[in-house]
Amino acid sequence: MLSQSHTRTDLSWTDTSPRPRGLGWRLSCALFGHRVSNVAFAANPGPVKHCPCGERLLDMHAETRVSHTVSCFLLGHRYVRIAVRDGHHEYVCTQCGHPLLFRMDSDPYADQSTFKKKVRYLCNLFGHRVHPVVSRQGFHEYACDCGHSFLKEDSGRSVVKHPLVCLFAGHYLRFTERRGSYDEYLCRNCGHTFYFVVTE
């Protein structure tokens, strides 16, 4: 499903230096998108974020194509709560920045400060059955009971599916807004948002 060539490096990516790593990294990033890691970003504070290939990432005025974080895909995301907003608890993956939004009155993780979670299989197959959360930044935000959230241009949606292009090509991210100690980015194809730690 995802590129095998990512597995080896993603699972063992502990050296967080932004120095260029040669042709292998650059080729991988050109094919699958750049690597994002909140762990690596936090370890390398500064106004500019870098991919291990050396490329500058997540410029607020440009689009960044990012690959899937295979360790999260295979082992599940590890979440911490970052906010209570719009009647929801909001969580973010400490590695890849993937968020979750649960209604406060039906949050299965309400009494846990950190937890691991895999994607709900039926939602991947048939799409997420979503409810409206809030309107912001010219978008309508939705969340599924599984926790997946989306920012979409159209109102009144009840189902959101993941487009295949993101599975194969990664996500194309643009900055939306700074919230607390995180910068939020939005994928133009799937409507997923990602949170990356503010490091400046």
Taking CB under 5 A as the binding criterion, the range among 30-38, 103-111, 131-139, 175-183 that sits at the site for Zn ion is 30-38
Say if residues 91 and 53 touch (Cβ distance below 8 Å).
no
Q: Sign of dihedral through CA atoms 10, 168, 128, 141? A: positive
Query: Does residue 100 belong to the site contacting Zn ion (CB under 5 A)?
Result: no
| CB of 117 vs Zn ion, minimal distance in Å | 9
| CB of 89 vs Zn ion, minimal distance in Å | 16
Extract the tokens encoding 66: 């990012």
What gap in Å lies between CA 69 and CA 47, rounded to an integer? 23
33-92: which residues touch Zn ion (CB under 5 A)? 34, 51, 53, 55, 72, 77
- The DSSP secondary-structure symbol of 5 reads H
Binding mask 132-171 for Zn ion (x = CB under 5 A): ------------x-x-x-----------------x----x
Q: Which amino acid would we find at residue 163? A: P
Taking CB under 5 A as the binding criterion, the range among 10-18, 28-36, 102-110, 151-159 that sits at the site for Zn ion is 28-36
Query: Does residue 128 belong to the site contacting Zn ion (CB under 5 A)?
Result: yes
Query: Does residue 7 belong to the site contacting Zn ion (CB under 5 A)?
Result: no
Strand (E) or helix (H) holding 67: none
Q: How many chain residues interact with Zn ion (CB under 5 A)?
A: 21
**Cβ-proximal residues to 53 (8 Å cutoff; 6+ apart), any chain:** 20, 21, 25, 26, 28, 29, 34, 35
Query: Does residue 186 belong to the site contacting Zn ion (CB under 5 A)?
Result: no
Which candidate, 46, 48, 62, 53, places its Cα nearest to that of 18?
53
- Give the interface with Zn ion as residue ranges (CB under 5 A): 29, 34, 51, 53, 55, 72, 77, 93, 95-96, 98, 123, 128, 144, 146, 148, 166, 171, 187, 189-190
